[in-house]
Amino acid sequence: MFFPKIGISAIVTLAVATVTQAGIKGAIVDESGNPVHNAAVTIRTLPNLVANARVLSNDKGAFNLNNAKKGQSIVVRKAGFLPETLSVVPAQKDYGNITLKRDPIENRIDSIMAKMTIDDIIAQMTQAKAPAVKCGNSICGSALEGGGAYTADFYANAWKQKIPVIYGKDNVHGVADVKNATIFPHNIGLGATRDSALVRKIGQAVAEEMWAAHIDLNFAPAVTVPQDERWGRVYEGFSENTELVASLGAAFVRGQQGDHNDAEWRVITTLKHFIGDGATDKGYDRGNATITAKQLHKKYLPPYEASIEQGALSVMASFNQVNGIHQHVDSALLTGVLKTELAFDGYVIADWEGIESSTTPGAAGDYSPGLVTGISSKDAIKNSINAGLDMAMVPQSAEAFVSNMKELVASGAISEERVKDACRRILRAKIRAGRIDNPNGPAAYVGITKNIGSAEHRQLAREAVQKSLVVLKNKKVLPLATTDKIFVTGSHANNTGLQCGAWTLGWQGTMEEVPGATSIQAGFDEVAKGARVATAEEAGTIVYIIGEVPYAEWFGDYRGNDFNNKIITKKERTDMSFNSTDNDIAQIKDWQKAGHKVAVVLITGRPLPITSLINAADAFVVAWLPGSEGAGVADVLFGKVKPTGKLPHTWPKDAKQIPINVGDGKKGLFPYGFGLTY
């Protein structure tokens, strides 16, 4: 396997640094007895997905590891080989030669690649914008469309190619650019459920709806570990807690792909964004993450490891920098850590025009429809591909990428060995996903439109909403009685676009209605018919549903000086603004003076420093971004289902505390894991 030498020795040093004395030793060899260099040797307590200890074999195949115990396993992995697992034997220190057998899938890849030209290989490495399937003089490996775009018949041409062109979309909480699809809560809400079995079912449901819509590649799940509430992408992650992210991320992968890609409905999942996207300074999207090697391995890497152990087939590089190095050109992390230390043998894909983004670290692009924001320049391509990027997401510069790649390979600036390795990784993923053996996809799911927004899937989404709600405050207001007179109001009470959040019928979401979705207000009418009244004067209790407007990526960043008591409420995408909650507080107090109890339901993609608003309410419930099934909110408020949601993040008391996370010694308004019930 080709990899740059940069960073490998540092990784070995890091892995061995914890090994003060060799507890066990051995040597990794192939079937001919030749030493296998840089095999990843780990000690694991199965079925845990994260290793207790790890080391790489040296150039003689030898390894030493400490702290192996009875009941643990030695697991050895390297791309191109079948993994080998041995039980730790008490008192045995020398395990001799451990033989890795070549994975039979490699023989299939050899036979395919034997018939491929360099043009074919480069085309496989290219992800153009649908409906294109031609990349240079050959057929693209993949095509994609951004938020809001969907070509229903793209598959007809893409899947009939000799090597099918896989079609990628950001189905991060459902097939949300397809009308009438089931929209699940965004990941932060799923984090509040703490329910990995539920998340696995959601992964499967999304895969089934993907096949119904002829989509076979998903740019999800995000296994980020967000650390700063000012970041505009907090909701994409499950939690600030590494262990919870690892558990739920792996569960989603199992749902989408089965156990190590054994599901009939399996699609290709993409772990993102590697690495440190949730750790940037001040929470700036695409900014710099200042983190130590220890922090990276302890906090940010385990979710990737867990999902890779479950068979994840693709990893997306991140726009951010880690200690000043853009993640599309970070050889030490892409090749040294991801591909070598974690033995990831799938492919690494760029983010949207991320190759060229590496030339302007920290800058955000203009993705206005039809606007070409840049090209794939030779230096950027050379640096990213040599760093370990395998597939270029180049919807606006595919032609330039292919042309420049041909010149770079011809000149030797990028070796044939490197591009063949990249192509091999892409083909490996396609074979495991069944895209070579069954190019038309699983007949039981492909084009089955009744699966889109099916009653079964909507019930699953409703369950997710129920389990995601977190009750932060309750002064004998909840549960509501179906015999009460309740006035339901607020900006988010009867707007399904607002409750779904971003990546719904568009990159930045929509302020309009989402077809097939049930608003929270409509959910009230379903759960407690006749309880809702038309005016506040008629009511005993007022349910005030307010929150953030949809936003994605840097549009949601807070980059001002005082985040206290502010919510992002302005709809213009070019001029997002955070407005004070003072008017909401005044309204609540007016209602209370008139003798009403006020329960606030907050629609939000992150914890917010809105202590004054929380203090003003008689009850306060966080519904996150619940998606299409608004009735799930009413189920909990009326006590049809008891609230069980727990905070996936520490809730800040004051903006000055941000960043605030579990274990940092800061005391927020509510701790990580908090949640009332009744």
Active-site option among 309, 345, 351, 463: 351
Active site residue 351: yes
Cβ atoms of 55 and 297 closer than 8 Å:
no
From 430, 427, 328, 339, select the one nearest 382 (Cα to Cα). 328
Which residues, 6+ apart, have CB-to-CB distance to 677 below 8 Å? 471, 642, 643, 644
User: For residues 364 and 356, what is the distance between their CA atoms, to the nearest angstrom?
Assistant: 12
Coil, strand or helix: which one is 391?
strand
Q: Is residue 639 exposed (0-12), middle (13-18) or buried (19+ Cβ within 10 Å)? A: middle
User: For residues 169 and 147, what is the distance between their CA atoms, to the nearest angstrom?
Assistant: 8
User: For residues 268 and 432, what is the distance between their CA atoms, to the nearest angstrom?
Assistant: 9
User: For residues 361 and 287, what is the distance between their CA atoms, to the nearest angstrom?
Assistant: 7
User: For residues 645 and 574, what is the distance between their CA atoms, to the nearest angstrom?
Assistant: 34
Q: Is the dihedral of CA 504, 505, 509, 515 positive or negative?
A: negative
Could you tell me the strand order of the sheet in which 619-624 lies? 470-474, 619-624, 597-603, 541-547, 486-489
Give the CA distances from residue 253 to residues 218, 360, 514, 609, in Å, rounded to whole numbers and listed in that order. 10, 32, 27, 33
Q: What is the DSSP letter of 75?
A: E
Which residues, 6+ apart, have CB-to-CB distance to 116 below 8 Å? 124, 423
Active site residue 553: yes
In the block, tokens 């697992």 appear at: 85
Active-site option among 208, 236, 553, 635: 553
Give the CA distances from residue 650 to residues 45, 239, 305, 496, 665, in Å, rounded to whole numbers and listed in that order. 29, 9, 25, 27, 11
> Which residue type is seen at 224?
T
Q: Is the dihedral of CA 55, 56, 57, 58 positive or negative?
A: negative
Distance from first CA to last CA of the chain, Å, rounded?
57
Angle formed by the axes of helices 378-387 and 416-432, nearest 10°: 60
User: For residues 508 and 658, what is the distance between their CA atoms, to the nearest angstrom?
Assistant: 25
The residues annotated with a catalytic role in the active site are 351, 553
